[in-house]
Amino acid sequence: MKGIILHGGHGTRLRPLTHTGPKQLLPIANKPMSQYCVESIKNAGINEIAIIIGGIGSDKVKEYYGTGENMGVKFTYIHQDYPKGIAHAIQLCEKFVNNEKFLVFLGDNIIQKDIKYLRNKFEEVDSDASILLCEVDNPSRFGIADVKNGQILKIMEKPKVPPTNLAVTGIYFLTPKIFDIIKELKPSWRNELEITDALQMLLEKGNEITYDTITDYWKDTGTPEDIINANKEILKNLDSSFDGKKEENVLIEGNVIVGKDTIIKKNCQIIGPVIIGENCIFEENTIIGPNVSIGKNSKITKAVIEDSIIMENCEIMTDVKIKNSIISSNSRIYQAENEEKELLLGEGTSIKI
Instruction: Give the model confidence (pLDDT) of 248-297 as tens digits.
Output: 999 999 999 999 999 999 999 999 999 999 999 999 999 998 999 999 99
Nearest Cα neighbor of 308 from 298, 319, 295, 322 is: 322
Q: CB–CB of 330/345 below 8 Å?
A: no
Separation in Å, CA 282 to CA 172, 258, 277, 290: 43, 11, 12, 16
Q: CB–CB of 169/134 below 8 Å?
A: yes
Cα separation, 305 vs 181, in Å, equals: 50
Q: CB–CB of 80/168 below 8 Å?
A: no
- Is residue 339 over pLDDT 70? no
Confidence (pLDDT) at 9:
60
Nearest Cα neighbor of 106 from 174, 167, 43, 34 is: 34
Cα separation, 300 vs 282, in Å, equals: 5
Asked if omega into 16 is within 30° of 0 (cis), the reply is yes
> Residue 246's beta-bridge partner residues?
264
Q: How many CB atoms lie within 10 A of CB 63?
A: 10
- Is residue 25 over pLDDT 80? yes
166-217 tens-digit pLDDT? 989 989 999 999 999 999 999 888 888 889 899 999 999 999 999 998 877 8
Q: What is the DSSP letter of 71?
A: G
Confidence (pLDDT) at 218:
82
Confidence (pLDDT) at 138:
86
Question: CB pairs under 8 A, 24+ apart, for 337-346?
Answer: 345/16, 346/15, 346/16, 346/19
Confidence (pLDDT) at 26:
87
- The average pLDDT across 117-140 equals 89
Structural domains in the chain, CATH included, are 2-232 (3.90.550.10), 238-334 (2.160.10.10)
